[in-house]
Amino acid sequence: DFSHDIVIIGGGSAGVSVAASLLARVSDLDIAIIDPQDVHYYQPGWTMVGGGIFEPEVTARTMGSLIPRGVSWIKAAVSAFEPANNAVILDGCRVVRYNRLIVAPGLKLDWDAIEGLPETLGRNGVTSNYRYDLAPYTWKLVKGMKSGKAIFTQPPMPIKCAGAPQKALYLSGDHWFKSGDLANIEIEFCNAGGVLFGVKDYVPALQEYIARYNAQLSFMHNLVRIDGPARKAWFSVTDAGGNKEIVEKSFDMIHVVPPQTAPDFIRVSPLADAAGWVDVDQTTLRHKTFENIWSLGDVMNAPNAKTAAAARKQAPVVANNVLADIGRVKGIAHYDGYGSCPLTVERGKIVLAEFGYGGKLLPSFPGFLVDGTRPSRISWLLKERILPPIYWKAMLKGKEWMARPEVVG
Ligand code: FAD
């Protein structure tokens, strides 16, 4: 059996950041991170891989190189919770005890929920930027396409990086626009939702690019089945009266974003809400029922945009509040729901969506520098050159660049 004062489940964007934020505040803590994976991914880079801008390797680092010095790494997967005993159970039935628990295992990409998808991913023109090994295939397909039909799908909310499905469309459209092939390529955006983007301030700028790439918007279209070799996809389409019918479409390439849920071991646990996500107070990120449990990142149920940018702001909040509970810092930190989605509308320009709870705009930069609702070159430089080093060198190291939380009391 293992026992640690603070146990963190998940060594992703949220888990490593919160460990580093804890140590930045108090250096003599007994912390363990539980994560079975050898590799940690900078997933926001995958859109750039799919657009031919980043090499895939720049988005991956070994887990061992990122876990902060002094933090124990338990290389295993958690399978169950026993909050009454302050314990989690690992695969293979080993037990890890804690005084305080931080839950950050991300979400589950449910590829299997679409009939026929797993067996054709990476072949027959079927791709997705949502997987490290598939994002390069997106770029290969885009470069090779001179005519035909390209479909981009978006599943029901919530998903991580809600803008990523259309980012793939814009970067592909931009390539065909500049190669001169766009006139022979038909683009369709099949979105299970009913709007282009959830915060209306950003929609006009996005709409201009939909028009530039001559993309057809098909709302309430939810991908349910795919036949790769036949190059056909089936969508469940809901009409205004709520009636559903299945519609068949042919494609030459299709960029699929899978449905997303809480991980199975979370969904069936006593920590979950009715929808399966970890049930937290959206301001303090403390669990609503279990006082010595906090959660951050994609796995929890606060209504923020599920992004690494959100985890960057959440990590110091959770670190502060765990340490306040132990009596090592004063005051309770509050999270305002900040999340960010840099929409890569063309190579060289980004619409930088930054917003908090209720769709309140929370720009990081003054309006004269960056107007987030308009395409901007500075925002592209931020995404291409500045954000990756901020991620590796500041966020994962507990240097809270632009992420200092409001502390009350
Ligand atoms: P993750 O980073 O996914 O990490 C979860 C970790 O938990 C993993 O290491 C995993 O191995 C571990 N784990 C899972 N199960 C268990 C278990 N049972 N036991 C122990 N450990 C476990 N965000 C942005 O801010 N900007 C963007 O532009 C952006 N673009 C994106 C584009 C794409 C294509 C994708 C896929 C994501 C994008 N995101 C973006 C979202 C961002 O990557 C996530 O929101 C962020 O990684 C969430 O961090 P997390 O720590 O919650 O989850």
Q: What is the pLDDT of residue 375?
A: 98
C-beta of 313 in contact with ligand 1 (< 6 A): no
Residue 34 Cα, ligand 1 centroid: separation in angstroms? 15
Residue 121 Cα, ligand 1 centroid: separation in angstroms? 20
Token pair recorded at residue 113: 């929920």
Q: For the residues of 172-237, what is the DSSP string, one character each?
A: HHHHHHHHT-GGGEEEEEEESSSSS-SSGGGHHHHHHHHHHTTEEEEETEEEEEEETTTTEEEEEE
Residue 93 annotated in active site: no
Q: What is the dotted CATH code of the domain comprising 109-258?
A: 3.50.50.60
Within 13 Å and on the Cβ side, how many CA atoms surround 313? 25
Residue 16 Cα, ligand 1 centroid: separation in angstroms? 11
Q: If you take atom 32 of ligand 1, which residue's CA is the nearest one?
A: 44
Cα–Cα distance list, 185 to 57, 175, 251, 252, 376 (Å):
30, 11, 11, 10, 26
Calpha distance 16→10 (Å, rounded)? 8
Tell me the average pLDDT across 172-179.
98
Q: If you take atom 46 of ligand 1, which residue's CA is the nearest one?
A: 308
C-beta of 35 in contact with ligand 1 (< 6 A): yes
Determine the residue of 8, 38, 43 to mutate for testing ligand 1's pocket, defined as the one with the most ligand atoms within 8 A of the Cβ atom.
Answer: 43
Q: What is the ipTM of this complex?
A: 0.99
Q: What is the dihedral of CA 390, 394, 397, 401, to 10 degrees?
A: -140
H/E stretch holding 341:
strand 339-346
H/E stretch holding 61:
strand 60-62
Q: What is the pLDDT of residue 116?
A: 98
- Do 299 and 266 form a contact (C-beta atoms < 8 A)? yes
Residue range 328-344, pLDDT digits in tens: 999 999 999 999 999 99
Tell me the average pLDDT across 82-93.
96
Q: Which residues contact 188 (CB under 8 A, 6 or more apart)?
A: 149, 150, 151, 152, 215, 216, 218, 249
Residue range 11-49, pLDDT digits in tens: 999 999 999 999 999 999 999 999 999 999 999 999 999
Tell me the average pLDDT across 1-11.
95
Q: Which residues contact 176 (CB under 8 A, 6 or more apart)?
A: 142, 145, 182, 185, 213
Token pair recorded at residue 201: 């301030």
Query: What does the mean pLDDT of the chain come to?
Result: 97
Calpha distance 42→56 (Å, rounded)? 10
Token pair recorded at residue 166: 């259309």
Determine the residue of 35, 67, 137, 255 to mutate for testing ligand 1's pocket, defined as the one with the most ligand atoms within 8 A of the Cβ atom.
Answer: 35
Tell me the average pLDDT across 318-324.
98
Band (pLDDT 50/70/90 cuts) for residue 59 is very high
Same fold, 2-107+262-337 and 109-258: yes
Of the candidates 242, 218, 220, 222, the one whose C-alpha atom is nearest the C-alpha of residue 233 is 222
Q: Residue with structure tokens 């009939």?
A: 115
Of the candidates 90, 118, 300, 324, the one whose C-alpha atom is nearest the C-alpha of residue 225 is 118
Q: Does residue 403 surpass a pLDDT of 90? A: no
- Do 266 and 297 form a contact (C-beta atoms < 8 A)? no
Residue 190 annotated in active site: no
Phi-psi region of 347 (alpha: psi -120 to 50; beta: other; left: phi over 0): beta
Q: What is the pLDDT of residue 1?
A: 73
On the 0-12 / 13-18 / 19+ scale of CB atoms within 10 A, 69 is exposed
Tell me yes or no: is domain 2-107+262-337 CATH 3.50.50.60. yes
Calpha distance 25→33 (Å, rounded)? 18
Q: What is the pLDDT of residue 235?
A: 98
Inter-axis angle of helices 164-179 and 135-144, nearest 10: 30
Calpha distance 146→128 (Å, rounded)? 20
Q: Does residue 370 surpass a pLDDT of 80? A: yes
Among 253, 317, 341, 370, the active-site one is 341
- Do 188 and 218 form a contact (C-beta atoms < 8 A)? yes
Band (pLDDT 50/70/90 cuts) for residue 374 is very high
C-beta of 43 in contact with ligand 1 (< 6 A): yes
Report the amino acid identity of residue 315.
Answer: A
C-beta of 353 in contact with ligand 1 (< 6 A): no
C-beta of 258 in contact with ligand 1 (< 6 A): no
C-beta of 49 in contact with ligand 1 (< 6 A): no
Domain ranges across the chain: 2-107+262-337, 109-258
Residue range 111-170, pLDDT digits in tens: 999 999 999 999 999 999 999 999 999 999 999 999 999 999 999 999 999 999 999 999
Residue 340 Cα, ligand 1 centroid: separation in angstroms? 14
Q: What is the pLDDT of residue 373?
A: 97
Percent of the chain whose pLDDT exceeds 70: 100
Q: Does residue 214 surpass a pLDDT of 80? A: yes
Q: What is the pLDDT of residue 402?
A: 73
Cα torsion 8, 13, 16, 18: sign = negative
Calpha distance 352→372 (Å, rounded)? 5
Tell me the average pLDDT across 281-293.
98
Band (pLDDT 50/70/90 cuts) for residue 240 is very high
